[in-house]
Amino acid sequence: MTKSLAETIYVLNGPNLNLLGTREPETYGHQTLADVEKLCAKSAAQFGMRTDCRQSNREGELIDFIHEARAKKAAGIIINAGGYSHTSITLHDALMAVKIPAVEVHISNIHARENFRHHSFTARAAFATLSGFGIDGYRLAINGLAAKIGVKAKA
């Protein structure tokens, strides 16, 4: 049986997240982007949902993914825009424009790091932000998104 589009959560990862596991493991850990994607698929499945995981190092492509989520009537967006969180008004505007419930995730605690990381444009367009839980933040984000949209875990 094919899942309806409304049962899909877009999981969007920004620049340098393709390097998870090797990039600054003391900050981001040793788990890879493939580990993140497996965790998200497993977490969404508990709610009878599926994930569509994407990663891009290009801001415009991330915006295209957000627009696609709207066109395909996605249930929600989990976004880790990486460094673009702190610089991209256009990602903020895209998230606001599509009117899809979004959760921002950061693997590290951005507030315990450099001052320039303390502000996030994408956080202003999300109903919640998780920071500092490692990749488990993605699982928590999916749980929170499911609660926000009224989806209960399947038995």
Q: Does 106 participate in catalysis according to the annotation?
A: yes
From the list 28, 84, 92, 138, the catalytic residue is 28
From the list 10, 92, 106, 138, the catalytic residue is 106
Q: What is the DSSP letter of 6?
A: G
d(CA 5, CA 50): 9
d(CA 21, CA 31): 5
- Catalytic residue annotation: 28, 106
